[in-house]
Amino acid sequence: MYTPSLSRSARRGFTLIELLVVIAIIAILIGLLLPAVQKVREAAARTQCVNNLHQIGIAAHNFHDSRGRFPAAINIPGEENFGWPAAPDPGRWYGLHMALFPYYEQDNLRRELVDNVVNPQYVNCKGTDSVGAQVVKILICPADGAMPNPPVGQYGVYSFGLSSYGGCSGTSATTTSGNQSLKNGMFFMNSSVRITDVTDGTTNVLLFGERSRRNLQATSSSEALGGWAWANVFAQEDNTMNSSQPMEGVEFHTLNQFGSQHNGGAISNFTFADGSVKPLSKSISIVIFQRLSVRDSGKVKDASAY
């Protein structure tokens, strides 16, 4: 029986050189594609971060509309004996984010939290399944690659849901002594700042900002936690940051510093007191940065400088 032979072209396979060329072309295409994918991811993370800060800013203004003031960084009764104002909400212990929960659809979570005992974080945060260890998505910046997964921190046997965002407490370094604080930001211990107190103009004053967990280091009063349920005299640094130091998102820094991992740590997003969200460069002049952190400095704040 006659069987027709295959043509030379049909029998011929790829040579080694041809395979190597194809592989090289694929590698080049992947090399070109990966930066584009990374840029898309970074842009998406920035967009989500901006949206988070915008929603938190809206919540703060809704709180103000309801209560006639912005919430305190930490509401702690009895601190008037240490140079702070009296607690605006007597008999309650809670932090800034807890105060805002009802204003960005976390009212059910807020209702579960105990806030009428001293140091209530020990009540709310006993274990990873506790209410204070809940992850609140709006409080997490997706660009923070150093955030644990899930974003829950540990302090001894206690577990805390973490936050990438905090209020601006002004230019003073974080302290438990009210006599050592200028109290010139929007949020500090037992603060009750009103819009009318922002005499520098709401477009020129920082309300909220973000911090990075990359290379975050503990201090004598901090375990580098940043938990939203922490509500004792040391918890201002969990709920606020300040401009006593420049922004930092890459090098070693403390819980009290603003910063991010956007653009390799080059920028950080901020909510201003008018509710707008803008990026600020890490290289911003510390003088300008501090002026933006103060609600009533009386100093000129040139928008072209930031």
Q: Which residue in 119, 154, 134, 133 sits closest to 231, CA to CA?
A: 119
pLDDT digits (tens, 9 = 90+) for 188-218: 999 999 999 999 999 999 999 999 999 998 8
- Residue 39 pLDDT: 67
**Cis omega before residue 102 (within 30°)?**
no
pLDDT digits (tens, 9 = 90+) for 32-75: 776 766 667 788 899 999 999 999 999 999 999 999 999 999 99
d(C-alpha 164, C-alpha 139), whole Å? 6
Task: Identify which has the larger pLDDT, 25 or 98.
Answer: 98
What φ, ψ does residue 99 adopt, rounded to 5°?
Answer: -65, -30
Q: In the chain, where are the structural domains located?
A: 16-305
Average pLDDT, the chain: 91
d(C-alpha 260, C-alpha 46), whole Å? 10
- Residue 37 pLDDT: 61
Strands (E), the chain: 74-75, 94-95, 152-155, 158-161, 165-168, 206-210, 240-241, 267-272, 277-281
- Write out the two tokens for 158: 């206690």
- Residue 32 pLDDT: 75
What percent of the chain stands above pLDDT 90?
Answer: 75
Instruction: Give yes or no for a contact between 203 and 274, defined as CB atoms under 8 angstroms apart.
Output: yes
Instruction: Give yes or no for a contact between 193 and 69, defined as CB atoms under 8 angstroms apart.
Output: yes
pLDDT digits (tens, 9 = 90+) for 214-236: 999 887 767 788 999 989 999 99
d(C-alpha 247, C-alpha 209), whole Å? 10
H/E stretch holding 10: helix 8-11
Q: Is the pLDDT of residue 6 over 60?
A: no
Residues facing residue 272 across a β-bridge: 206
Q: What is the mean pLDDT of residues 266-274?
A: 97
Q: Is the pLDDT of residue 294 over 50?
A: yes
Q: Which residue in 58, 132, 145 sits closest to 102, CA to CA?
A: 58
Task: Identify which has the larger pLDDT, 41 or 2.
Answer: 41
Q: How would residue 119 be classed by pLDDT, with cut points 50, 70 and 90?
A: confident
Instruction: Give yes or no for a contact between 141 and 44, defined as CB atoms under 8 angstroms apart.
Output: no
- Write out the two tokens for 217: 């280091």
